[in-house]
Structure 1
Amino acid sequence: MLTHIYIRDFAIIDELDLELQPGMTALTGETGAGKSILLDAIGLVLGDKADSTTVRHGAEKAEIILSIDIQHSPAALAWLKEQELDQDEAICLLRRVISVQGKSKAWINGSPCTLTQLRDLGELMVDIHGQHEHQSLMKREMQRQLLDDFAQHNALLQQVNHTWQEVKTLQDRLTTLTTQQQQHQERLELIRLQLQELDQLALQDNELQTLDEELSILANTGELRAVSEHSFHQLYEAEPSLYSQLTQIQHALAQQSHLDPRLNAPLELVTSVQIQIQEAALSLRDYASDLDTDPERLAWVEQRIADIRQIARKYRWDINELTQQQRRLQQELAQLEGGDYDLETVQTRLKTAHQAYFKVAKQLTQSRIKTAQELSQGVTEAMQQLGMQGGRFTLKIETQETQISPHGCDQIELMVSANPGQPLKPLIKVASGGELSRISLAIQMIAAQRLTLPALIFDEVDTGIGGGIAEVVGQQLRQLGTNRQVLCVTHLPQVASKAHHHYKVTKAKTNANTTTAIEVLNSKARVLELARMIGGIDLTPATKALAQEMLTN
């Protein structure tokens, strides 16, 4: 239940700090005093849209803080835990700040959150019925939602939506494949041809680089042999050769090193160079002898490179990425030959998806029919209590399997007969605004009995009724308040007198500004407020006595 609300600089509220009580609480006041402002503030902190006009004139920002006891709200506790917004205490704290520029920030238990999160959490704790709710009932989608909310078959609705999404996806896929079948086949043929040529080429990774290196050697064998043989001759066979000169130097240094040990270091270096010169010369000799002019091999390498370059030019591929391109084409071919691109496979999957959809949609229809009977009976009984004796209410359900939707195959329409002997007609054709208000109130009262939410809010839903009917409404609201919290903005003393608690909304005007305040009424003040509601400005002993009588009955 809602336990406390703090409001600052919201609309015409300067500052309000109010404790909220269990049971039924009535909010009353003069016309224009701002009775609905408190409910507007609660709506905002529960995720309603806001703009800069909600900020009190002259202030920089509006702030609303709402405390909610959730210890008996398992759905809200589970949601907070899932979102990692829970805390050890049983009180959930919601905060909303709206700047004069229209920007908004929100928090749940001190952690920043989105308006979507506020709305999701709010829907688990508070249900708000507005005075213009009968207007929304004119819309067919709202009539369907009314029945589904009363049935509480969310799991079925989710299954229907899920299977519908699968059907739609496959239908779109089938349409795409049908219109693009020619392009699909042409792409398949091209890929198969390309892969056939690449398979015949049998190119290995890095083969082109290896071939280029081999071609360079084969094309320059004579020059390479001449250079290597000349180098060998100069290093080892010429007179004098570099090797023989180093031998003489090494021998001379060796003879003199005993005279000065400092010659040992250069002697070692000369000896090392001599050995390396010898190894280089022998290596060059072996290299020259291994070189062999092979015209056939040269021609083969040249042709192999030409074949590789030709296929790269043909399909405008990077010559260095042919093996990667081959792998990509193999993957694309596997996809194009898979079930997602096969008409018969997609048609089979679509048929299966349709069967799954109609199976769960039928279950949803059966649930709606069963719930419609219960709701129709309850609302019809409530209409009798609200002065519409002989009136009837029912929900018409027509199943049209040719028009599937994410909400099932049912077309739902509220049907009403306001007077005895009159046939049932669509609610939208009910003429009287007063009848619409009472029918809407009857629906809300029955629907509220099914709700398990800890807090219900009614904003002048009793508009258009009075007398004994108003007393019945008050009794039903009080009954609702026995096991949950009910906040009711009302202008009827018959309703207000049935409340467990009574708050009066007042508006004060000065030359500078206008402010709204809320006063918690004690027994004496409550009698005076009810008397005002009964008789107007001049309170007579008769109106006071009637007010006292209404409170005691």
Structure 2
Amino acid sequence: MLTRLHVRNYALLDEVGIEFQPGLNILTGETGSGKSILIGALNLILGGRAATEVIRTGAVSAAVEGFFEWQPDTCGPQLPDDMDIDREERELVIRREITRDGRNRCSVNGQMVTVSVLKRIGEALVDLHGQHDHQSLLDPRTHLAFLDGMGDTDGVRNRTAMAWKRLSGLEDQLRRLDEEIRVTQERRELHRYQLAELETADIRPGEDETLERELAILQHAGQLIDTASGVYEALSQQEDAVIDRIALLIRSLEEMERIDDTLQETVNGARSARYQLEDVAANIRQYRDRIDFDPRRLSEVQERLELLKQFKRKYGGTLEEVCTYRDRIAGEIARLETADDRRAQIEIEREQARKTLTDMALKLSKTRRRLAAKLETRVMEELAELGMPKTRFHVRVDWQQTSTGPVEIDGVRYASDASGMDRMEFMIAPNPGEDLKPLAHIASGGEISRVMLALKVILAESDRISTLVFDEIDIGIGGGIAESVGHKLKVLARSHQVLCITHLHQVACWGDAHFTVSKRSTDGRAVTQIGLLENDGRVREIARMLAGETIDDLALTHAREMLRRTAHTPVRAKHA
């Protein structure tokens, strides 16, 4: 239940605090006084759209704060798991501030939340019916939600949605696979030729670098042999070879060592140098002997390198890229060769998913048809109490046949989406002898308002939302029917907190609490004020609604009589 609303710098509301009561809270005031502005402020903390234009002129921000009684063990919103809300507090304080630069600051009991979280919490706390929301009844697409609100369809609806999502996913897989097959088939022969060419070539990453080194050796074989021979001769074969000269030097050092043993390390270093040079000489000789100038091998290497260059030009800038391309087309060809098997498996899964969806959609439709019969009876009962006793109301439930529908029953396909296959529309015949016709084609504004109120009353019997807000639900009606609407709101207020903006005295006189909204000029600026009416103040407001600005004794007497009569009229919900 909404216990208190505090608004600052929102449109014409400067600084307003209002404490709502249980039961039926009535808000009245002259046209243009700002009654609907208050509803807009409430909608802000329920996650509604925030526009910087609502910030009061001269202010840098607007803020709205709502205080709600909260019974988390029995009803109320499901809070995010990461919110540390003390459930013993039994109060939710929701605050939202908007600034001129478009920023939103939203909090619940002091903890920052996103607007989407605020909206989810708000939907569980308050059902807000705006001035033009009754027009939604003219759109058949909204009727399904009203019917589902009649009973516990959440479980089967969720399973239907999951089955539809599963089937849709498999259909997408088949479409993607068919497109892959189509594209791959167009290139299949080319890819097979390319793959054969590449596999025959037996290309290995880095092969070109190895061949470039071999080519350099083959092209300079004579030079390498001559140079290696010269080095080898100089090191060990000439009469004055380097290794022989070092051997003589070592003998001289050894003689010095026999005199001064501190030269031992130097001698060892000289010996090591000799051994290393002997290894160099042996290695260079072996290298020289390995070089074999083979004109045929030279030709083979040159031809191979030319082939690799051609492949790099055709399939990639490097051999690594060529190999990657080869592996990719090999994978495509392999997938194409197994595509039929994969497609057959997906088709099996698709038909299983179709059967599951069909079963769930049929079960959901059966539940809805049962609820539809119940809704028809209840709406006609409520409309009879709202001045439409001869009205016939029917919920038409159809299935749409289509050759491509996801649901199949006895070989016939039907359209379906995540909400099922039912196509629903409210039909009405307000007067005896008339045929049932779509609500949008026949109902007047007052009739639509009463149908909406009837639906709200019926749905309130099964929902867990504690606060209902009506902004001029009584539009298009008057006289005795308006009094019936007021009584119906009073009945609804026995089980829910109801906030109702009205221009009709027949409705206002039923309130448990009555607030007046007025517009005043302060320091040259318009300011909306809200006050709780009691006793004589309430009598005068009802009289104003009866007679206009000129309130006479007759109007006051009539107002007192209306308030006395409604206060003593028994109020009992027929289907409580």
Q: Which amino acid aligns with 1:436?
A: I
> What letter is aligned with 1:8?
R
Between the two proteins, the alignment pairs up a number of residues equal to 551
Structure 2 unmatched ranges of 5 or more: 403-413, 569-576
CA contact under 8 A between 1:383 and 1:392: conserved in structure 2? no
Instruction: Name the residue aligned to 1:401.
Output: 401
Instruction: Quickly say closer, same or farther: Cα 1:337–1:126, change in 2 above 3 A.
Output: farther
Code of the aligned partner of 2:477: I
Residues 256-405 of structure 1 mapped to structure 2, 5 A cutoff: 256-257=256-257, 266-294=266-294, 298=298, 300-315=300-315, 318-339=318-339, 351-402=351-402, 404-405=415-416
The residue type paired with residue 395 of structure 1 is V
Other-structure match for 1:439: 451
1:454 aligns with 2:503: no
Rounded to whole Å, the distance in 2 between the matches of 1:547 and 1:314 is: 95
Q: Find the counterpart in structure 2 of residue 545 from structure 1.
A: 560
Distance in 2 between residues matched to 1:100 and 1:335, nearest whole Å: 57
Letter matched to residue 507 of structure 1: K
Question: Map of 1:130-529 to 2, 5 A cutoff?
Answer: 130-165=130-165, 183-257=183-257, 266-294=266-294, 298=298, 300-315=300-315, 318-339=318-339, 351-402=351-402, 404-406=415-417, 407-430=419-442, 432-523=444-535, 525-529=537-541
Residues 464-473 or 369-378, more deviating: 464-473
**C-alpha distance in 1, partners of 2:286/2:337?**
57
- Cα distance in structure 1, aligned partners of 2:74 and 2:280: 88
Calculate percent identity across the aligned residue pairs: 34
Q: CA deviation at 1:14?
A: 0.5
Q: CA deviation at 1:519?
A: 1.7
Contact 2:76 2:465 in 1 (8 A): no
Q: Which amino acid aligns with 1:502?
A: H
Closer, same or farther: CA 75–156 of 1 in aligned 2, 3 Å: farther
CA distance in 1, matches of 2:514, 2:35: 12
Letter in 1 for 2:372: A
Cα RMSD (Å) = 3.3
2:531 aligned partner, one-letter code: E
The answer to whether 1:41 aligns with 2:47 is no
Query: Judging changes above 3 Å, is the alpha-carbon distance between structure 1 residues 73 and 336 closer, same or farther for their aligned structure 2 residues?
Result: farther
Please report how far the alpha carbon of residue 163 of structure 1 lies from its aligned counterpart in structure 2 after TM superposition: 4.4
Distance in 1 of aligned mates of 2:37 and 2:4: 15
Distance, in Å, in 2 between the alignment partners of 1:281 and 1:180 is 64
TM-superposed CA distance for 1:198, in Å, is: 2.9
Shift of the 539–345 alpha-carbon distance from structure 1 to 2, 3 Å rule, reads same
* Matched residue SS, 1:395: strand
Superposed CA deviations along residues 77-96 of structure 1, whole A, max 9, x for unmatched, are: 53422xx2342244333222
Distance 1:512 1:23 in 2: 37
Deviations 1:111-157 (A, max 9, x none): 44443332222222211122323322111212233223334524444
What's the CA shift string for 1:180-204, capped at 9, x where partnerless?
A: 8654312233333333333333334
- The one-letter code matched in structure 2 to 1:224 is L
1:333-374 alpha-carbon deviations (Å, 9 max, x no partner): 344445499776666665555444433332232222111111
State the TM-score, normalized to the length of structure 2: 0.84
Unaligned 5+ segments in structure 1 are none
Name the SS of the counterpart of 2:62 in structure 1. strand
TM-score by length of 1: 0.88
Cα shift readout 1:147-176 (whole Å, capped 9, x = no counterpart): 233345244444444544555566566667
Instruction: Give the distance between the partners of 2:225 and 2:179, measured in 1 at CA.
Output: 66
Look up the match of 1:85: 83
Quote the Cα distance in structure 2 between the aligned partners of 1:442 and 1:294. 103
